[in-house]
Structure 1
Amino acid sequence: MSIKSLLSVEHLEISYQDKEKLKPIVQDVTFQLYPGEMVALTGTSGCGKSLTAHAVVGLLETGYKVTNGQIYYKNQNIIDYDEKDWQSLRREEVALLIQHSLNGLNPIRTVKKQMVETLNQKKKWSRKDVNTYLHSLLHQVGFTDPEHILSSYPFELSGGMRQRILLAMMISIRPKILIADEPTTALDIINREKVLTLLKKLQHDFELTILLISHDYESIKKFADRVIQMDQGGIIT
């Protein structure tokens, strides 16, 4: 019996509205994600990896639009979702870890407030339960003093710490797919290795399906179950 893909991107084309004309930026991108695997989408900077990831979760920037192809999630074509459907997908099913971790956190609100807000999007938690769960999550992403982290502001923490907090926030809502867009770009080589090792651990602990986007082929090849090579405008292998 063949395993069904969780996510299937078929002949995807993304274009940019340049004055009166649509200019294709990404063309003919096709790949599948299967349950429980970590797939790396790699290629040179500017080839459209991040654009592809943003299209999958309905977060293309103004001026960009999908002009051809299909995106199937659990066999349902999500390409024509409205904003409410996209929000539901991002809240319930597919989490996107953005490239610059500090941009993903509010610098003037404590880590705890932001994590609780994320959790409450799905269901309301009691104070006792939420504290227990947050401590457990922060332990799972490698923090030994969760209480200190929860009471901190993002600007007081290093880039590697903020990245792990964002990962904890993503997995707190138990998504089926985690898309990590260049999660190691701003990190030094030691923290890069730590974050990739952590992603591998979370893949197994939470039965996560991970799409890892990176231009750093050498770093990711030992962590990914499969590597998809992307070039300017499409998929090569």
Structure 2
Amino acid sequence: MRTTFINPILSVEQLEISSHVMEKPSPIVKDVTFQLYSGEMLALTGPSGCGKSLTAQAVVGLLERECKVTYGNIYYKSENILDYDVKSWQMLRRSDIALLIQHSLNGLNPIRTVKKQMVETMNQNKKWPRKEGNIYLHSILHQVGFSDPDDILSAYPFELSGGMRQRVLLAMMISLKPKILIADEPTTALDVINREKVLTLLKELQYKFEMAILLISHDYENINKYADRVIKMDQGGSII
């Protein structure tokens, strides 16, 4: 039985994203409309190339230079964030909406320890005293399933498995205490066992932090077991 959610935290309305590579803008995502509710896990699925990742990038203001929103609105807590300037987008990503991007396993710096990278991330919102920061790091690493955080904190990313690196990245995201976590194809680079672990972990984090999660994946059968709702995009980018 699915949970009923009543408070939309994010509303995407008739979103159109166009490519500006050619002289005339060409729509590549059209008429995308959906709502994400507080505390809900919503899955956005569809074939590769339909615009799922572009939609996620638009929500956090990280579209590539050649792409632009040409129609529609994106409301976060009833405020149209498409009107934001660069600084407002940066603040939104630091404190409210976290994006775990596709292929993010390559996003960790291989020559810096996990601890240095996690400290840098969590200090974006506030400067933590060393002792309090260490306690918090241990806490969130426990929450993503690590029994010995000290081993993880002292490790370099290349010393960890793909599943472990994905959990480190999730810990970095939740250290910012976002209201929304967007996970873009979080299991693509993982084997079957680690896919299940990561999806189970996302579900646990959803309940533990009462966090809204937008889960983007082309793997409909797998995500359908975890999501509260599933919506599909067609090849033209529209919701079906």
Give your verdict on TM over 0.5: yes
The answer to whether residue 43 in structure 2 is matched with residue 36 in structure 1 is no
Contact kept? 1:101, 1:162, Cα under 8 Å: no
State the 1:102 CA deviation: 2.5
2:184 maps to 181
2:103 paired residue among 84, 94, 100: 100
User: Structure 1: any 5+ residue segments left out of the alignment?
Assistant: none
User: Structure 2: any 5+ residue segments left out of the alignment?
Assistant: none
1:9 paired residue among 9, 12, 22: 12
The answer to whether residue 197 in structure 2 is matched with residue 169 in structure 1 is no
The answer to whether residue 222 in structure 2 is matched with residue 212 in structure 1 is no
1:20 maps to 23
1:199 paired residue among 198, 202, 205: 202
2:148 maps to 145
2:130 maps to 127
Give aligned-pair identity as a percent. Answer: 76
Contact kept? 2:28, 2:237, Cα under 8 Å: no
Distance 2:95 2:236 in 1: 30
Contact kept? 1:228, 1:235, Cα under 8 Å: no
Which ranges of 4 or more aligned residues in structure 1 deviate by more than 6 Å? none
State the 1:236 CA deviation: 3.5
Cα RMSD after superposing both structures: 1.1
Distance 1:78 1:15 in 2: 18
How many residue pairs match? The answer is 236
Distance 1:162 1:199 in 2: 14
TM-score by length of 1: 0.97
